[in-house]
Amino acid sequence: MWFRQKCVRPFAPELEHVCGRPLGLRFDEKTGDLYIADAYFGLMIVGPAGGLAKPLVTEAEGLPFRFTNDLDIDEHEDVIYFTDTSTRFQRRQFLAAVLNVDKTGRLIKYDRTSKKVTVLVQGIAFANGVALSKDRSFVLVAETTTCKILRLWLSGPNAGTQDVFTELPGFPDNIRRNSNGEFWVALHSKKGLFAKLSLSQAWFRDLLLRFPISGPRLHSLFTGGRPHATAMKLSESGEVLEVLEDREGKRLRFISEVEEKDGKLWIGSVLMPFLGVYDL
């Protein structure tokens, strides 16, 4: 359509609501279908031959998705778990969502057989990455603003309850499970003094939001002006097993996803135009 003719630029935040912004991607290994969590268009699907993605879900409990973020697939139960980061802010306003300590994020389940949509957890402060455990007994969701990974039990004696899986030294983005059942978490940035003050002191946060600071400058302040990269590997019980860092940001910056495959880590960023590969 004519209004999508400009959707050819590599970086255009002002056009995201028109062009879409894919964030979470997962293949169904049985069918080859690619499921997409698009920040503006909701949960989508495209067949193994490619082509135009089709929308599957755009709302839950009467609330339209404003910031669909990530997903994981339980092929055994035929359901998809995904996040809607906020009911107030869109992706291009992601820093505002964090600075306002917005807690309208949701973890949602989509049943592919019945087409039923169920909100599993509400009140998440920037609901982000999603990962199902290897035995499918729990699902993890990154609560970016609080620097935590939350766990929702799906089966067993704790089914239906949630707890904190782990607390992190920075802001988690996506979570990806490896073949051993361990989890790789990409940290967008560490939690510096400016971020700590912004999130813990309401007066400082209110003062900051009143100043006419540009988005890039505000992001730089929030991340401490250090565009480094940090990836952490967690055990099935939430223990830190390994930490990889490019502290000076010489090669990788602001990473958003770490996927382990065949002895390598494939690393992406939601802000920077690169694909990183690291030999384990």
Domain segments of the chain as ranges: 1-167, 180-280
**What is the residue-level pLDDT of the chain in tens, covering all 280 positions?**
545 677 877 777 788 888 899 999 999 999 999 999 999 999 999 999 999 999 999 999 999 999 999 999 999 999 999 999 999 999 988 988 998 999 999 999 999 999 999 999 999 999 999 999 999 999 999 999 999 999 999 999 999 999 999 999 999 999 999 999 999 999 999 887 888 888 888 888 787 777 777 777 788 878 877 778 999 999 999 999 999 999 877 888 899 999 999 999 999 998 888 899 999 9
Could you give the CA distance from residue 83 to residue 35 in angstroms, rounded to a whole number? 13
The CA distance from 138 to 237, in Å, is 11
CA 93 to chain centre: 14
Asked whether 208 and 215 are in contact (CB, 8 A), the reply is no
> Exposure string (b/e) for 94-108, b if CB count within 10 Å is 16 or more?
bebbbbbebbbbbbb
- 3-class SS at 270? coil
Task: Determine the pLDDT at residue 17.
Answer: 87
Angstrom distance (rounded) from CA 39 to CA 233: 26
Task: List b or e across 208-241, with b for residues whose CB sees 16 or more CB atoms inside 10 angstroms.
Answer: beeeeeeeeebbeebbeeebbbbbbbbebeeeee
In CATH, the number for domain 1-167 is 2.120.10.30
CB of 248 within 8 A of CB of 166?
Answer: no
3-state secondary structure of 91: helix
Spatial separation of the C-alpha atoms in residues 109 and 79, rounded to whole Å:
7
- Position 255 scores a pLDDT of 94
Q: Work out the number of other CB atoms within 10 angstroms of the CB of residue 278.
A: 16
Pick the closest to residue 252 from 235, 265, 236 (CA basis). Answer: 265
User: Can you say how many angstroms the Cα of residue 228 is from the centroid of all Cα atoms in its chain?
Assistant: 18
How far is it, in rounded angstroms, from Cα 157 to Cα 6?
A: 52
pLDDT for position 250: 81
The tally of CA atoms less than 13 A away on the side-chain side of residue 271 is 19
What is the pTM for the complete model shown?
0.93
Q: Give me the pLDDT at residue 62, please.
A: 94
